[in-house]
Amino acid sequence: MSKQRALVLGGAGFVGSHLCDRLVAQGWEVYAMDNLQTGRLQNIAHLRRHSRFAFVEHDVCEPFHMPAERIYNLACPASPPHYQADPVKTTLTSVLGALHALKLATRCGARVFQASTSEVYGDPEVHPQPETYRGAVNPIGPRACYDEGKRCAESLMMDFARSRGVEVRIARIFNTYGPRMDPDDGRIVSNFITQALRGEELTVYGDGTQTRSFCYVDDLIDGIVSLMEHPTFAEPVNLGNPEEFTVLDLAELVRELVSSHSPVTFRPLPPDDPKMRRPITQRATDLLGFAPKVPLRAGLARTIEYFEAQLDAEEKRQSATALIDKRGRAPSSVRARRTVNGSASR
């Protein structure tokens, strides 16, 4: 089909902003919708002047009317500190966001992509995890707002596909990392990098033997775009890197790449935190030719470079603020810098 309009819900978020980049580069007219609860305008600042990009501030818990040929639903806080801060809102964002996306698709004949999650597998009793595994989720635990919200969103997608003929695509996304992660979002990669760069202890929850699989964001976007454009397949597809690392493996690699001597400190494992996480990605390989290309070491190096720039910018902002507080006014150079930064990220 000729490329037309794509609506990206959660388009100012970490993954959403990278998706917007890719779609604009492919020739789509892209609308990024975000309520900025966890999304950041700085993630899309470079796109704001592009003729085929527009940002819409809106909460997907409320209905929206924006005709598009492709609707990508990535609207939901994804890190435990963020989604547990307001668990009721998290559940509603997952469920109502999916419902409103599907209703819009029904009206305008769009195809809908649902960003689901490996968390639908819970603390798995099957390892590694295939799409046929139904999971071991605690429906009343502190993570249920996210886990069950995403499971319900998948249910809505399949019911709209079966009963109303909406074309849906569902990806179960495993741990993803890369530039534009919020340094303070509480995820394992961002935690370790920021702690190492600040010379702080690296916090490991549990004994560090639990495992994760880390996919660089560019590889994930390859999979998302390819899945959306698959002509027929509607069932869930795992997207992630099938290589498996322990939490201590990751901590040691981050310390090495940062040249950090920060010690590791251990804290109790949070309730329902998965002990093992690794996707079986054969379905994605067979359907899409999906194969992650960026090794963990290379992807972490790029992510560390981004975080270093973010932390350096924050230190400069704090220094400027301290200088203003001390003198009662900003020097002209500081005032000029604040004006430039403000125009890009307000």
In 3-state terms, what secondary structure has residue 144?
helix
Catalytic-residue membership of 146: yes
Q: Per-domain residue ranges for the chain?
A: 5-307
Q: Quickly list DSSP for 228-293.
A: HT-SS--S-EEES----EEHHHHHHHHHHHHT--PPEEEEPPPTT--S---B--HHHHHHH-----
Place of tokens 């639908």: 120
Reading phi first (left if > 0) and then psi (alpha if -120 to 50, else beta), residue 107 is in alpha
Q: What is the Cα–Cα distance from 94 to 210, expressed in whole angstroms?
A: 27
In 3-state terms, what secondary structure has residue 177?
strand
Q: In whole angstroms, how far apart are CA 255 and each of 199, 204, 237, 244, 262?
A: 10, 13, 33, 18, 7
Could you please state the CATH topology (level 3) that the domain comprising 5-307 is classified under: Rossmann fold (3.40.50)
The one catalytic residue among 31, 72, 121, 146: 146
Query: What does each of the 346 residues of the chain score in pLDDT, given as a tens digit?
Result: 567 999 999 999 999 999 999 999 999 999 999 999 999 999 999 999 999 999 999 999 999 999 999 999 999 999 999 999 999 999 999 999 999 999 999 999 999 999 999 999 999 999 999 999 999 999 999 999 999 999 999 999 999 999 999 999 999 999 999 999 998 899 999 999 999 999 999 999 999 999 999 999 999 999 999 999 999 999 999 999 999 999 999 999 999 999 999 999 999 999 999 999 999 999 999 999 999 999 999 999 999 999 999 988 888 888 777 777 666 655 443 333 322 233 333 2
pTM: 0.91
Nearest to 281 by CA among 92, 66, 118, 137: 118
Cβ atoms of 96 and 127 within 8 Å: the answer is: no
Cβ atoms of 174 and 238 within 8 Å: the answer is: yes
